[in-house]
Amino acid sequence: MSDNDCRVTLMAVATPLFAEKGFHGVSVRELAKAAGMNLSMISYYFGGKEALYAAVLSQQFATLGQVTDIKALAMDPLGKFERYIRSTVERYRKNPYLLRFYTSELTNPTPSFQLIVKPAIREVLVVLQEIFNEGLAAGQFRQGLDPMDTILALAGMINFYFLLEPVTQEMVNHAPQRDEVLVNHLMDIFTRGVAV
C-alpha cells in the first residue's frame, strides 16, 4: 500500500467511527483494526490520534465552503436561500457524517473547534446574512426583521430536521425521495414568514 493509500484508508475508516462515537469514544486500536493496519501506523502517518481526528474534521468542513458560491449566483435572495437549503440537504445526503461532527464539536468541543469548525460555520452565517441584507435593500423582505435571528431560523429549520433523525425515523419518511417536498415546505414557510 502506498503512502497516500494508507492516509486515505485511515481517514475513510476513521470518519464514521469518530462521527458515531466521538473523539474519546474511539481508540487507536479500534481505528487500526478497522483499517486493517497496525496501530503504530496512525502515529507514523498522522502523528497521533488527535492529528488524525483533525485531518478528518478539516476534510468534512471543507465541504461547507461551497456555500460561499451561492452569494455570486444570478438569483434573487429568496432563490439563493432556497439554493442554500437544497445544497444543505444534498451535502448531508452525500456526507452522512458531517452533521455529527458539526454538533459534536458544538457541544463537546475538541481543540480543533476554534481552528476548523468555528471559522467554517461563521463563513456560512456571514454569507447568509449578506444574502438577507441584499433582499432587504431590494425591498423584498419586511422591515423590522433581525438579520441574524432570521438566517439562524432558516439554518435551524433544515439542520434540526436532520439532527432529530434518530428520534423521528419512525415518525417521518426520511427517504431522499421526499427531500424535494421538504425543501418546498420549508421554503414555503420561510418565504411567507419574511417576504413583504
Partner DNA sequence: GTCTATATTGCGATAGAC
Partner DNA sequence: GTCTATCGCAATATAGAC
Least distance from its own copies to the Cβ atom of residue 106, Å: 6
- The single residue among 6, 28, 51, 153 that binds its own copies, judged by CB under 8 A, is 153
- The single residue among 5, 171, 175, 177 that binds its own copies, judged by CB under 8 A, is 171
Joined grid coordinates for residue 121:
460555520
The site partner of 22 among DNA, its own copies, none (C-beta below 5 to 8 Å per kind) is its own copies
Least Cα distance to 19 among 113, 77, 105 occurs for 105
- The single residue among 22, 30, 134, 152 that binds DNA, judged by CB under 7 A, is 30
C-alpha 176/C-alpha 196 separation (Å) is 32
The site partner of 100 among its own copies, DNA, none (C-beta below 5 to 8 Å per kind) is its own copies
Residue 155 contacts residue 128 (beta carbons within 8 Å): yes
CA trace torsion 13, 38, 26, 123 (10° rounding): -50
Q: What is the per-residue binding string for DNA in 46-85, x denoting contact by CB under 7 A?
A: --xxx-----------------------------------
- Asked if 108 is part of the footprint of DNA (rule: CB under 7 A), the reply reads no
Residue type, 20: E
By the 10 Å C-beta count (0-12 exposed, 13-18 middle, 19+ buried), 60 is classed as buried
- Asked if 115 is part of the footprint of its own copies (rule: CB under 8 A), the reply reads no
DSSP class of 145: -
Joined grid coordinates for residue 26:
474511539
- Chain residues binding its own copies by CB under 8 A are 19-22, 24-25, 99-100, 103-104, 106-109, 113, 117-118, 121-122, 125, 145-146, 148-150, 152-153, 155-161, 163-164, 166-168, 171-172, 181-182, 185-186, 188-194
